Amino acid sequence: MNWLLLGGSLVGVLGLGLAAQLLGLGADVRIADAAHARMLADEAHCGFDPVDVVVDRAGHAALLKDAEGRHMLIRVHGNHFASRLLEPPFFGRLDRRMLTIATTDRMFGQVTLDLGDQAARWASGLRHTHHG
């Protein structure tokens, strides 16, 4: 009887694992590169045409700027991506290679991007974000 229970439990666990995989649960979702970030921006906000893109070193977030000076922040949110057009007021803090951004949208949360040598340039650009 114990072998039957063990076998049933094993089949159940394998079944749950397969179901999770088919649903995409537990996947390592990341922003692969600038092209992927551009695609996500287009899906999130039709008409936002980025002229400059930077992706966090871990692929957890991206910051994009269009020709009008608007900025979009995209972040991994569970198995999906969330994005916001950054409109003042928002909070930005530069700490060496890290740029932390928080919007007034509490549901979006605070995002810290590891931008390496590009962090200071992007922090400076955010100070001139289009108010519109």
DSSP codes of every residue in 68-117: TS-EEEEEEETTEEEEEEE-SS-EEEEETTEEEEE-S-TTT-EEEEE-GG
Q: Are residues 63 and 119 in the same domain?
A: yes
Task: Report how far residue 115's alpha carbon sits from residue 101's, in angstroms, rounded to the nearest whole number.
Answer: 12
Residue 131 within a domain: no
- What is the sign of the dihedral through the CA atoms of 123, 120, 114 and 125? positive
Asked if the model's pLDDT at residue 90 lies above 90, the reply is no
pLDDT at 132: 45
Rounded to two decimals, what is the model's pTM?
A: 0.76
Residue pLDDT, tens place only, 15-40: 665 655 565 555 679 999 999 999 99
Residue 97 within a domain: yes
Mean pLDDT rounded to a whole number for the chain: 85
Determine the average pLDDT of the residues in 35-59.
Answer: 94
Asked if the model's pLDDT at residue 99 lies above 80, the reply is yes
Q: Are residues 103 and 45 in the same domain?
A: yes
- Total domains in the chain come to 2
Q: Are residues 74 and 14 in the same domain?
A: no
Determine the average pLDDT of the residues in 44-65.
Answer: 94
Q: Which domain holds residue 17?
A: 1-27
Query: Which one, of 89, 79, 81, lies nearest residue 44 by Cα?
Result: 81
Q: Are residues 22 and 66 in the same domain?
A: no
Q: Are residues 44 and 14 in the same domain?
A: no
Q: Are residues 18 and 76 in the same domain?
A: no
Identify which has the larger pLDDT, 49 or 7.
Answer: 49
